[in-house]
Amino acid sequence: MKIDCVVGARPNFMKMAPIIKALKATPGLEPRLIHTEQHYDAAMSKIFFDELGLPVPDLFLGVGSAGHSEQTARVMVEFDRVVAANCPDFVLVVGDVNSTMAAALVAAKRLIPIGHVEAGLRSFDRTMPEEINRIVTDVVSDLLFTTSEDAHLNLANEGIDAAKIRFVGNTMIDSLLLHRERARATSTALETFGLNPGRYLLVTLHRPANVDEPDALSGLLGALGRLADERPVLFPVHPRTRARIEAFGLGAVLARHPGLRLIDPLGYLDFLRLMESAELVLTDSGGIQEETTVLGVPCLTLRPNTERPVTITEGTNILVGTDPARIVEEGLRVLAGERKTGRSPRYWDGHAAGRIAQALAEWGQA
């Protein structure tokens, strides 16, 4: 069975890397890796392929940056050409980026079966582009691979046939568990940035609702700055976020808080090392909510909702919203020793990719 495995952006790489390895090890499955290049520069793409051991993609689509509609359309046009020329038996997509939905739509219109890894996640906030991508991809998919049991309820409520759903676990955690010791052994990030384990905070911000509005971004930077008065705060800045900080003239906010350090994006191993050793992580990323849960590191999610509630009910995540006063309040609690403890959810055990490969092999033989 020829399987086209599509990736496009940084979160996809961590999820697809163990899947490609498992598919190649499974008789009867022939994976081909296709990179749409939704993320294309070295800091957001190449370093992740190198560190995660992903093979060089069989095809690059060269889509690049654009608005949501244009980017989705570009992926559809380019991937449709690939599908027409090579006739895969199955298309496998991961996550919720524009490339995920676009590739799934192409496959659906070509009547090619589709598998969606991370199916059923819902924030119930349709102002988020990712939520639209998730819903559309799930509707057209033939196999829906879920990371948590609450995802099954979401799919059932949307009328998805239970026979299509496979509870397999979390492939992002497969990557984390595989590379954790390597990150500890090889990363020099703590030394590079002069940080003491357990005595600093780590931040990521990139959601449009947080970084595209001057007042929202200014408020968040002010809250981070207040926490930086207590502990060093390291902030690897997404290119989108850095551009907004400069465009909105927020340098004065940063200047008031020298402990808030903005740095360039990091590779997977360095970020994993910093995340594992942090006293607290603050983020608007879905994947980081999951990774901190497995690492046992407190996490504050700077959003009004999350599509990963299991990280709250079972993990170390607290949903704090975007009010600066609440962020500072909850952050100071953690720094005072009020740490939330949790446990790894079921099947977040490093073997999710193997379950996906087995399900695809059985599906192909049916």
Domains present along the chain, CATH in parentheses: 2-170+348-365 (3.40.50.2000), 181-335 (3.40.50.2000)
CA distances in angstroms from 146 to 19, 85, 149, 151, listed in the order given: 14, 31, 7, 6
Residue 301: its pLDDT value, please?
A: 98
Q: What whole-number distance in Å separates Cα of residue 119 and Cα of residue 135?
A: 9
**Buried/exposed code over 297-336 (b: 16+ C-beta within 10 A; e: otherwise):** bbbbbbbeebbbbbbbebbbbbbbebebeebbebbebbbe
Residue 264: its pLDDT value, please?
A: 94
Residue 65: its pLDDT value, please?
A: 76
Residue 11: its pLDDT value, please?
A: 86
Q: What whole-number distance in Å separates Cα of residue 115 and Cα of residue 313?
A: 27
* 75 phi-psi bin (left φ>0, alpha ψ -120 to 50, beta other): alpha
Residue 45: its pLDDT value, please?
A: 60
Neighbours of 127 (CB within 10 A): 10
Residue 284: its pLDDT value, please?
A: 96
Residue 66: its pLDDT value, please?
A: 79
Question: Looking at 68, 116, 179, 206, which residue is catalytic?
Answer: 206
Count the helices and strands in the chain (H runs, E runs).
Answer: 17, 13
Facing residues of 262 across strands? 235
DSSP state at residue 256 = T
- Beta carbons within 8 Å of 335's beta carbon, 6+ residues apart: 227, 230, 231, 279, 280
Could you tell me if 234 and 193 are in contact, meaning their C-beta atoms sit under 8 angstroms apart?
yes
The number of residues in the chain equals 366
Coil, strand or helix at 103: helix
Could you tell me if 311 and 229 are in contact, meaning their C-beta atoms sit under 8 angstroms apart?
no
Residue 62: its pLDDT value, please?
A: 86
Q: What whole-number distance in Å separates Cα of residue 343 and Cα of residue 294?
A: 7
**How do residues 144-167 score in pLDDT, each as one tens digit?**
999 999 999 999 999 999 999 999
**How do residues 182-193 score in pLDDT, each as one tens digit?**
999 999 999 999
pTM of the entire structure? 0.94
**Residue 206 catalytic?**
yes
Residue 64: its pLDDT value, please?
A: 76
Could you tell me if 240 and 345 are in contact, meaning their C-beta atoms sit under 8 angstroms apart?
no
Neighbours of 44 (CB within 10 A): 16
Residue 235: its pLDDT value, please?
A: 98
Residue 149: its pLDDT value, please?
A: 93
**Buried/exposed code over 167-191 (b: 16+ C-beta within 10 A; e: otherwise):** bbbbbbbbbbbbbbeebeeebebee
Q: Which H or E run includes 182?
A: helix 171-186
- Beta carbons within 8 Å of 134's beta carbon, 6+ residues apart: 96, 118, 119, 121, 122, 307
Q: What is the pLDDT along the chain (366 residues), one digit of tens a residue?
A: 999 999 998 889 999 999 999 999 999 999 999 999 865 554 456 787 788 888 889 999 988 777 889 999 999 999 999 999 999 999 999 999 999 999 999 999 999 999 999 999 999 999 999 999 999 999 999 999 999 999 999 999 999 999 999 999 999 999 999 999 999 999 999 999 999 999 999 999 989 999 999 999 999 999 999 999 999 999 999 888 899 999 999 999 999 999 999 999 999 999 999 999 999 999 999 999 999 999 999 999 999 999 999 999 999 999 999 999 999 999 999 999 999 999 999 999 999 999 999 999 999 887
